A and B are shown apart, each in its own frame.
Chain A
Amino acid sequence: MRIHEYQAKEILSNFGIKIPMGGNAKNPEEAFDLAVELGGRCVVKAQVYSGGRGKAGGVKLVEKAEESKVEASRLIGSRLYTGQSGPNGLLVSSVLIEEPVNIAGEIYISILPNPETETHIVMLSNFGGVDIEELAEKSPEKIKRCEIDPVYGLMDYQARDLIYAAGIDIGKRKAVFQILSRMYEIYSKYYCSLVEINPLAITDTGDLVAADAKILFDDDALYKNNELLGLRDITQEDPLESIARKHNISYVKLDGDVGCLVNGAGLAMATMDVTNSSGSGPANFLDVGGGASPDKVCEAMKIILSDNDVKKILVNIFGGILRCDLVATGIVNAFTNVGNENIPLIVRMAGTNAEQGISILRKSGLKVIFVQNLDAASIAIREN
């Protein structure tokens, strides 16, 4: 789960890491008041779940409180189109109003799991501020790394060594050490999949300030810290993805026109690829899961049917624990609820109770194109 920059900074601040003065504004009036408190001159930053906001016009330095109000009313409620936002952009639900930071130097720090080495990893660079993936590609030697044992955690000596290796100015080492230790505390406590400060600004007065920050939480660990659930901003998600999450359906909206309903993530990806090779593209990734009930399948099909981009539907079920007859019942219920019988419905069912499932669909009156295997599914997509 992702959160906004202002929320990430609040967490950092709660753990004693210095952030720029300011606050989050949900409307232009709040933006104005915050700007006044800062003396007028401030930065207005659009809050969306995406990087690249500056290039997209989502970050503005203004000289007067009045201007912050103008910028806030321009941004809040608008959609921001960044390199990562997708074609529909992301809704700006609020703006962060901050004092400008006079940057004399920029440090990069991040902590994340490293599946390759089965450890956590800390990355530190004295050349922060830029896109870290770009830096990693062009000058990997400028990023220093340290593997963290998942049982013992970050050792003080490791932090010290890393800071030394990265070439952090001797006068700043202690302060960076403290910030890194606190970041690791946040990372462990909240089961994060990323804690990143970029840049950690060295100000002209020698302070260290988290000028931008990103925190991601492991979705599977959210139950350990219930208070985090309230941080989710559903305006940043595709509305269909929010509905799917409520029903515990694994769904990702994509930009093709073939709605896919599948059991199992691997088979769902395989089905997407088959759809792609037919010349169309998948409108979604959807895994109903192993123990799905007719109700859950019904909700899944309703999500697909309510997607205006969907021009045809491919159902691919390999019954194991999940019985095909239950899936068929769920599909019929969804069509009964929503209508839309004219959309081509291609069905492949195999495994547990496939025959019963097919028979339920045949008797339903729905116009179903039955296929035996994935090749036939690909052809059926092309022809219908």
Chain B
Amino acid sequence: MSIIIDEETTVLVQGITGKEGSFHAEKCLDYGTKIVGGVTPGKGGTKILGNIEVYENMGIAVKETNANTSLIFVPPAFSPDAIFEAVDAGIKTIVVIAEGIPVSDTLRVIRNIRSKEDVILIGPNCPGLISPGDKCKVGIMPGNIHKPGRVGLVSRSGTLTYEAVAQLTGLGIGQSTCIGIGGDPVVGTSFVDVLEFFNNDPDTDSVVMIGEIGGTKEQEAADYIKNHFNKPIAALIVGKSAPANRRMGHAGAIITGKSGSASEKINALKSAGCLTINSPAQIGDAVSELADG
């Protein structure tokens, strides 16, 4: 029914006693996610949100709960340390919400992640991911706009992902897994990584990919789609109207040179066989078209 997270997923929330951490942990619990504990150094042994155990560190938490996934809500200055801690504790899927981690710090974290064969880092600066059919949400997206189904969605953004989901659900089109990979220039999981997962998922029939200006990750995805991807895919690139050399909110959304521009990306995706979506208003319609075609 899904990729990366499913009904077997057991989650620890790092920074669970903070304002953001406790708020979103509760929303995930309400959605059905198996939150098996949280970690806040100095608060080990307490409880939160009714009966959720707070552990002193990730090592103890993983030993006690056998969790395989971590959702990190600590501020950007402390997120890299929290990621290293999760990796060392044996966590396999790490989701980092924080925006504003220095690029040099992210590069060091990624270097560590790449040296582990079976660890997936999603983010930083991302909304997380959700598999509606498995009632599993590891992130900050509003759960109620989703609907179980067979369309996979991957995006660099948060609210634009919600927009896309709302359009799909509005047309009665459900989703297998929706994943926001993050708006930073360097992130743990790329479009290509997610497309590989979707390609191998028997319960995903088609995919929507939402990219934006900056970097070359969409072109790499286009290469992968052309050579390996065997499901219908629609793609939208936003930021067509952005001027060069100005950062548009996301640290990664800046056009430097020709390769970061929307038109380069759209052309690459089009020639790879994607159905390219002209307007953010037409995401849902495009997916209907994929299903019909």
A residues whose Cβ falls under 8 Å from a Cβ of B: 84, 113, 115-116, 118-120, 133, 149-151, 188, 191, 193, 218-221, 223-224, 250, 252, 254, 256, 262-277, 281-282, 285, 287, 290-291, 318-321, 350-352, 373-375, 377-378
Contact = CB atoms under 8 A, between A and B. Distances in A.
Contact of A264 (B112, B159, B167): B159
Contacts of B114: 118
Band of interface residues on B:
35 or more
10 contacts: A84-B245, A250-B249, A264-B159, A265-B183, A265-B253, A269-B249, A273-B280, A277-B278, A320-B141, A374-B279
Contacts, number: 170
Interface string B247-273: 111111100010000000000000000
Looking at chain B's contact residues, the main secondary structure is: loop
Nearest to B256: A133
A351 B213 contact: no
Interface of B: 20, 23-24, 76-77, 100-105, 107-108, 110-112, 114, 127, 140-142, 145, 155-163, 166-167, 183, 185-186, 210, 212-213, 215-216, 238-243, 245-253, 257, 278-282
B108 A269 contact: no
Q: Which 7 A-B pairs have the closest CB atoms?
A: A266-B157, A264-B159, A265-B249, A266-B160, A374-B281, A221-B102, A150-B107
A256 B242 CA distance: 11
Contact of A375 (B103, B239, B281): B281
Nearest to A86: B243
A374 B77 CA distance: 36
Contacts of A320: 127, 140-142, 158-159, 162
B140 A321 contact: yes
B206 to A, nearest CB: 21
B149 to A, nearest CB: 19
A272 B162 contact: no
Contact of A150 (B108, B210, B278): B108
Which of B157, B246, B249 is packed against the most chain A CB atoms within 10 Å? Answer: B249
A377 B251 CA distance: 27
Contacts of A263: 159
Nearest to A270: B280
Contact of B157 (A120, A224, A267): A267
B183 A374 contact: no
Contacts of B186: 113, 115, 118
Contacts of B102: 191, 218, 220-221, 224
B241 A276 contact: yes
A319 B241 contact: no
Contacts of B247: 252
A270 B249 contact: no
A299 to B, nearest CB: 16
B142 A151 contact: no
